[in-house]
């Protein structure tokens, strides 16, 4: 069976894209899936550095943690993005691609091969503007934005190439820091826009200090027991968010080779 391709893409930075991507990759690997990842952000390389840190920790402390295969795309060495995606997908159940916060031909090519496209956004009208323009008085959606048109074109290209479809998922991150009225307005605008543009909306990950603390060691919320760290209430809540995120993606199941840590 061909690898299911999941592309995390958003032209704006700071939406929790790489954090969501690496936690998704590790969660799927913990369930027994063979997971490969490709970091398209050659400069910042957040996903790649996260997994570098993880590999160092595993070797240093002799830990057996779920570990995806990972690579970083470097167009200066090889700019055939489709060939690299195909090579990584050949021996994987899931291929996860993390993209930079910009629009370029490589990002568009990755999106056009996606089975699932995940667009994380902070729950605000600033990030919503990426997908659709909203009237300042009524908060009604006026028209889709450039990014929505880009995704539409990528979906058409995918259908033309192999008849496949792209399941577009908008991930609402950092919900709890917003005033309730603004949250409701954003939710209504997203619901209206989803019908016009064609995406699903699922809850994502909250803003938590734990994510920044885990990065230097390459750890995720699923690894705390393996390193002997007790999980506090905030950690349990965060793992619940991750579990809900994975369920919301509605991905095909891989045959489990190992059991995930109980959340």
Q: Which residues contact 244 (CB under 8 A, 6 or more apart)?
A: 202, 203
User: How far is 206 from 80, CA to CA, in rounded Å?
Assistant: 36
Tens of pLDDT, residue by residue over 57-66, are: 999 999 999 9
Tens of pLDDT, residue by residue over 47-57, are: 999 999 999 99
Q: What is the pTM of this model?
A: 0.90
Out of 100-109, 131-140, 242-251, pick the least confident. Answer: 131-140
User: How far is 128 from 134, CA to CA, in rounded Å?
Assistant: 8
46 pLDDT higher than 90: yes
Give the whole-number percent of the chain exceeding pLDDT 70: 94
Q: What is the mean pLDDT of residues 186-191?
A: 88
4-249 has which fold? Rossmann fold (3.40.50)
Q: What is the mean pLDDT of residues 26-52?
A: 96
Q: What pLDDT does residue 176 have? A: 56
Task: Give the confidence band of 262 by pLDDT, cuts at 50, 70, 90.
Answer: very low
User: What is the β-pairing status of strands 132-134 and 141-144?
Assistant: antiparallel
123 pLDDT higher than 70: yes
Domain ranges of the chain: 4-249
User: How far is 263 from 260, CA to CA, in rounded Å?
Assistant: 8
Tens of pLDDT, residue by residue over 75-94, are: 999 999 999 999 999 999 99
Task: Give the confidence band of 175 by pLDDT, cuts at 50, 70, 90.
Answer: low
Task: Give the confidence band of 19 by pLDDT, cuts at 50, 70, 90.
Answer: very high
Q: What pLDDT does residue 162 have? A: 86
Highest mean predicted confidence (pLDDT) among 146-150, 157-161, 181-185: 146-150
119 pLDDT higher than 70: yes
> How is the chain classified by DSSP, letter by letter?
-PPEEEEE--SSSSSSHHHHHHHHHHHHHHTT--EEEEE--TTT-HHHHHHHHHHHHHHHHT------EEEE--TTT---HHHHHHHHHTT-SEEEEE--SS--HHHHHHHHT-SEEEEEEESSHHHHTTTEEE-TTT--EEEE-HHHHHHHHHHHHHHHHHS---EEEEEEE-GGGS-HHHHHHHHHHHHHHHHHHT-EEEE-----HHHHHHGGGT--GGGTGGGTPPP-HHHHHHHHHHHHHHHHHTPPPPPPSSPPPP-
232 pLDDT higher than 50: yes
185 pLDDT higher than 50: yes
């Amino acid at each position: 069976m061909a690898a299911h391709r999941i592309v995390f893409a958003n032209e704006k930075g700071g939406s929790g894209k790489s954090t969501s991507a690496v936690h998704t990759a590790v969660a799927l690997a913990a369930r027994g899936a063979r997971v490969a990842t490709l970091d398209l952000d050659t400069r910042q390389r957040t996903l790649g550095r996260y997994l570098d840190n993880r590999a160092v920790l595993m070797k240093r402390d002799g830990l057996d943690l779920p570990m995806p295969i990972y690579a970083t795309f470097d167009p200066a060495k090889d700019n055939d993005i489709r060939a690299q995606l195909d090579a990584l997908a050949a021996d994987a159940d899931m291929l996860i691609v993390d993209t930079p916060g910009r629009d370029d031909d490589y990002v568009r090519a990755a999106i056009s091969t996606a089975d699932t496209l995940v667009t994380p956004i902070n729950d605000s009208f600033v990030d919503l503007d990426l997908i659709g323009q909203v009237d300042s008085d009524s908060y009604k959606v006026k028209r889709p934005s450039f990014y929505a048109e880009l995704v539409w074109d990528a979906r058409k290209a995918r259908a033309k190439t192999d008849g496949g479809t792209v399941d577009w998922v908008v991930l609402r991150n950092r919900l709890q820091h917003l005033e309730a009225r603004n949250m409701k307005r954003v939710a209504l605008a997203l619901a209206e826009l989803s019908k016009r543009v064609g995406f699903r909306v699922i809850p994502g990950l909250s803003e938590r200090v734990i994510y920044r603390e885990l990065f230097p060691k390459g750890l995720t919320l699923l690894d705390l027991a393996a390193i002997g760290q007790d999980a506090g209430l905030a950690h349990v809540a965060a793992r619940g968010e991750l579990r809900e995120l994975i369920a919301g993606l509605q991905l095909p199941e891989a045959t489990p080779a190992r059991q995930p840590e109980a959340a």
